[in-house]
Amino acid sequence: MIPKAKAEQLIAIYLYISYMYEYRLKYCCERFSNNQHPEFTDQEVLTIYLFTMLFEQRFKVKHMHQFAKDYLASWFPKLPSYVAFNLRLNRLSEAMKELSIELLSTNPLGVSTMNISVLDSFPIITCSGKRCSKVAREITDKTFCSTKGIWYYGLKLHLLGFMRSKRLPLPEAIVLTEASENDLNVFKQNWSGICNRHFFGDKIYHDPNYFNQLLEERQSIMYTPVKGVKGQPESIKHFDKAAADLFSTAVSRVRQPVESFFSWLEEKTGIQRASKVRSTNGLLVHVFGRLAVAFMYLFLNP
């Protein structure tokens, strides 16, 4: 049994998932077989996954299943074995993706600075670079993470978020790519059409010619810390050093909350550690399921 307060939270999540399933999710995991109406429903699978992570901080599927078996047996009497539960969960990877997209697009929180955005990327590690990864090779690859100083196999999560004063940024858009994908390329492919926006990024977004053109065409401007010019005379470097340092510090202070957002995301969901994943669908469930939980923290339980 669980306390009354958590029982109410469990009911709320189940009702929300049931509504979303009928409205949108069922079209992503529809069955065309004799077992199209299983006794243990997809809604129940999603409810257990989201509830145990959201309120019990159970990040491993095995621990989620064990908690449901020990404390939620009266709520889910048809709970299958761990192997069957894990298999059912992996089949819901597209449903998890649609759920996270729906949560991201319908958030109810107001934003005071709609014209100021911060952006950065975050590694999702499936394997150390010292080993040869054998999981989800079609969507992952190997790269070097300069922030952590490590080589790794995995994915990269790119975030564009609205700036909020003294609070975490509010996610506006998220893009998932292979680990080696350049952040500037992701910006050009996905967000270069945004007009009248002030973007704050790190040095990897430094491309004066491109962003001067963007300013003329879209009235959007990118602010990044000052990047040194190769071969520049030392006298000029010292002459500009004070102004460059002040500008770089100001930009870093504005974009610092996006780094705090990634730290918060890892603390609440454990999204970065994907070394236990054993399939492509499992990796997609790991990423989008945890994003859905994070968006529930932000939007449904602000």
Cβ neighbour number for residue 16 with a 10 Å cutoff: 18
Q: Which residues contact 106 (CB under 8 A, 6 or more apart)?
A: 299
Q: What share of the chain is helix, strand, coil (3-state, %, to 5)?
A: 50, 15, 35
The 8-class DSSP code of residue 70 comes to H
Angle at 148 between CA 222 and CA 286, to 5 degrees: 90
This prediction's pTM:
0.91
Sequence letter at residue 140: T
Can you tell me which residue has the tokens 């790269």? Answer: 143
Backbone angles phi, psi at 109, to 5 degrees: -80, 140
The answer, yes or no, to whether residue 280 has pLDDT greater than 60, is yes
Contact 220, 195 (CB under 8 A): yes
Report the number of secondary-structure helices (H) and strands (E) in the chain.
9, 6
Lowest model confidence (mean pLDDT) among 38-52, 161-175, 206-220: 161-175
pLDDT at 302: 46
What angle in degrees, to the nearest 10, is found between the helix axes of 234-269 and 280-295?
90
| Three-state SS at 135 | coil
Residue 27 to residue 32: CA distance in whole angstroms: 12
Sequence letter at residue 148: K
Q: Is the model more confident about 114 or about 198?
A: 198
Q: What mean pLDDT comes out for the span 164-170?
A: 86
Residue 18 to residue 134: CA distance in whole angstroms: 36
Residue 157 to residue 60: CA distance in whole angstroms: 20
Mean pLDDT value across the chain: 90
Angle at 246 between CA 224 and CA 258, to 5 degrees: 45
Which tens digit of pLDDT belongs to each residue from 118-152? Answer: 999 999 999 988 888 888 999 999 999 888 888 99
What CATH number does the domain located at 112-278 have? 3.30.420
| Three-state SS at 264 | helix
Residue 152 to residue 242: CA distance in whole angstroms: 37
Which tens digit of pLDDT belongs to each residue from 181-200? Answer: 999 999 999 999 999 999 99
The pair of three-digit structure tokens given for residue 169, joined into one six-digit string: 């940024």
Taken as a whole, the chain contains a residue count of 302
The answer, yes or no, to whether residue 112 has pLDDT greater than 60, is no
The pair of three-digit structure tokens given for residue 157, joined into one six-digit string: 């999560």
Based on C-alpha coordinates, what's the Rg of the chain? Answer: 22
